[in-house]
Amino acid sequence: MTPSTWLLQRARRGKERLKLWDAELDRLRYPAYYRGRLSPEEANLLLYNRLRQGKPVMAGKLGSVESRLLGEQRYGRFSRRTRLHAHQNAGIFPTDDQGLATAAAELWTALHSLDLLGCWPVEYQAR
């Protein structure tokens, strides 16, 4: 292993540790969000058991654009970044205030139908 390869691997491991540490800090900052949250193993077991029993299950996830859309809707103002990404990355249009507010309301309603919501540390998800 070359010194540069070793250094790159070490930097990647350090970055992963920082991500985990940041996620743990979020647990302290947003206790209501994390209360009752399943571990990845528990979530996998839930999905496995439902599928094995032939029971319907609806699982979903929020991407960074969707999380930001819901977060900015909550505060009543959509950023230029959200308008651009909502159209380019999430396929939402029109991106005027009414269009984004309608998309956020539809997304919020759909989230209440999920049996399992996957999440990871992205802006607005814990808030």
Q: What is the pTM of this model?
A: 0.67
Query: Which of 10-14, 60-64, 105-109 has the lowest average pLDDT?
Result: 10-14
pLDDT band (50, 70, 90) for residue 18: low
Mean pLDDT of 39-50: 90
Which tokens sit at 67?
A: 């999380």
Cis peptide before 31 (omega within 30 of 0): no
Amino acid at 3: P
Separation between Cα atoms, residue 119 and residue 67, nearest integer Å: 10
Report the amino acid identity of residue 17: R
Sign of CA pseudo-dihedral 95, 99, 100, 103: negative
Phi, psi angles (nearest 5°) of residue 19: -60, -45
**What is the mean predicted confidence (pLDDT) over 79-103?**
96
Mean pLDDT, to the nearest integer, of 54-58? 94
